[in-house]
A and B are shown apart, each in its own frame.
Chain A
Amino acid sequence: MSDWSFETRAIHSGFNRDTKTGATSVPIYQTAAFGFDSAEDIADVFQGRKFGHVYSRISNPTVSALELRFADLEGGLGAVAVASGMAALISVIQTLAKAGDRIVASRSLFGGTIHLLEDVLSQMGMGVDWVEATNLAAFAAAIRPETRGILVEIIGNPKLDVVDVRGLAAIANHAGVPLIVDNTMTTPYLCQIRELGAHIGVNCMGKFLTGNGNAIGGIVVDLGTFDWKNSRSERIQEWSRKVGKMAFLTVMRKLVTVNTGACLSPFNAYLFLMGLEALAVRMDRHVINATSLATHLASHLAVCHVSYPALPGSGFEDLVKTQFGGRGGALLTIRLGSKEKAYLFLNALKLVTIAANLGDARTLAIHPASTIYRDFSESEQQASGVYVDMVRVSVGLESIQDLFHDFDQALRVIQGSSLKNAIGETHA
């Protein structure tokens, strides 16, 4: 399957045709348990001697088809799909680390992920060492004997800084700790993180992978690039003697996700499989629209600043070129001068939806400072690239002319308000 191109594998990999009925679309196995002919049969499956599904908290045929397809698209050994992107991240950390261990993490992680690491890991006796996403030397310096992994997002959300995956992989390899890359913002279509040397890939599937914002899910891929025999985790080392290269995925499924119950529903797995089929076509359009909108807004008088990784002057043009083939994803931010103007703009939008998601077919916008980052201090917000006058935009698949029209009319409302204020001030 891996000889075929990405677009072909996104449609065919992991499931060709249902052997019993001929169904071309992956059937939804909406069942909690699976029946067996004999006590011996179910015992063999429990012991891992025979292939089979026993209970959907452990595995399910619809979810397995998704795992096989997505692992193929990332070029990995295998995958474990779970209930959300957050569940994927905590499952990776619970697989690699225990109380007393630490994770080195980028400061540019999504606010929800920062909360996860701050609020949950500390309660489990684990620590986090925060590092500037673009400072390779700081990553190297932050690694201690207790470090069990380095966690980054390929493009910070909403800071929109791009990490140097090759540089980080070299540091991770030198230290002997796995590099975990959240590839949600680029997906394996825009960036093959395995080729850049990453060890574990994480994707939040409710974003670009489904593409319709219709379900929540996460997936973890072992990219097959880490030597688990020499893992700093004794548990993974031990399992590598039994299952070889599959040690990380085995520990994650058998000892973590099965027990925590972070399983993905078969129905949601089906939605993600459907979404994946058109991923390449959608991502091309997302990128064209985002680039056009960023360029359009950069010359607008009412916009103080536009941030988009592929925009000239972003500082990330080289990494966007070498890692993503020049394609900067579909998220951009604009700064409008004040919180009031940001709110005026959001409330004036007619086509664009105010919502806390991204990677949707619909263009979505949000004021991060008063929503996702409401609990952060001003300095913490700024470290995450959040400003009080900033609006985050996830550019969808609508006609670009309609998007220009909606943004322009909403920006005119700000300009009208500025004019009224100026006139008011003159009269006062």
Chain B
Amino acid sequence: MNIQINGKVESFVAETLTVSALLVAQKVDMPEMVSVEVNGDVLDRDAFGTTVVKEGDTVEFLYFMGGGRA
């Protein structure tokens, strides 16, 4: 499947992945601090293990502690 992650299209062999598995597959740093948005909806952290992403989905990883105006 192809999904768009943080604005870039990424390809996966699997046809679906849970958000937890996606965080591992993408080697996301500090996963305990990331917020995940799937198709514009922010997920509850408790739902990472049960929410499934599939072909054509748009995913954004957001860190509340990153960014700012240095």
Binding site for B on A (CB under 8 A): 33, 44-52, 54-55, 57-59, 64, 68, 78, 241-246, 249-250, 253-254, 258-259
Contact = CB atoms under 8 A, between A and B. Distances in A.
What 5 A-B pairs come out closest when comparing CB atoms?
Answer: A55-B70, A51-B29, A244-B42, A58-B68, A48-B67
Contact of A49 (B6, B30, B70): B6
A46 B35 contact: no
Contacts of A258: 68-69
A17 B43 CA distance: 30
A52 B30 CA distance: 9
A78 to B, nearest CB: 7
Contacts, number: 84
Chief secondary structure at chain A's binding surface: helix
A54 B6 CA distance: 19
Contacts of A243: 35, 42, 62, 64
Contacts of A253: 64-65, 68
A249 B64 contact: yes
9 contacts: A45-B63, A46-B68, A49-B63, A50-B66, A51-B29, A52-B29, A59-B65, A245-B45, A250-B64
A258 B70 CA distance: 8
Nearest to A246: B64
B15 interface: no
A55 to B, nearest CB: 4
Contact of B64 (A57, A78, A241, A259): A78
A241 B35 CA distance: 12
A242 B69 contact: no
Given A46-B68, A47-B66, 12 more contacts: A33-B70, A45-B67, A46-B66, A48-B67, A50-B6, A59-B66, A78-B65, A243-B64, A244-B43, A245-B44, A253-B65, A259-B69
A50 B63 contact: yes
A57 B70 CA distance: 7
A246 B44 CA distance: 10
A259 B43 CA distance: 28
Nearest to A242: B42
B66 A242 contact: no
Interface string B19-37: 0000000001110111101
A64 B7 CA distance: 27
Contacts of B67: 45-48, 58, 254
A46 B68 CA distance: 6
B33 to A, nearest CB: 7
Interface size class of B (residues with CB under 8 A): 20 to 34
B64 A51 contact: no
B7 to A, nearest CB: 8
Contacts of A250: 64
B57 interface: no
Given A54-B68, A57-B70, A244-B44, A49 B33 contact: no
A68 B60 CA distance: 23
A51 B44 contact: no
A382 B28 CA distance: 55
Contacts of A50: 6, 29, 61, 63, 66
Contacts of B62: 48-49, 242-243
A50 B31 CA distance: 11
A54 B42 contact: no
Contacts of B69: 258-259
Contacts of B65: 51, 58-59, 64, 78, 253
A242 B65 CA distance: 14
A244 B37 CA distance: 9
A46 B67 CA distance: 4
User: Which interface residue of A49, A57, A59, A68 has the most chain B CB atoms within 10 A?
Assistant: A49
Contacts of A48: 62-64, 66-67
A58 B70 CA distance: 7
A254 B68 contact: yes
A368 B65 CA distance: 39
Contacts of A46: 66-68, 70
A249 B33 CA distance: 12
A50 B70 CA distance: 16
Contacts of A249: 64
Contacts of B45: 245
A55 B70 CA distance: 6
Nearest to B65: A59
A409 B70 CA distance: 56
Nearest to A1: B32
A49 B68 contact: no
Nearest to A248: B64
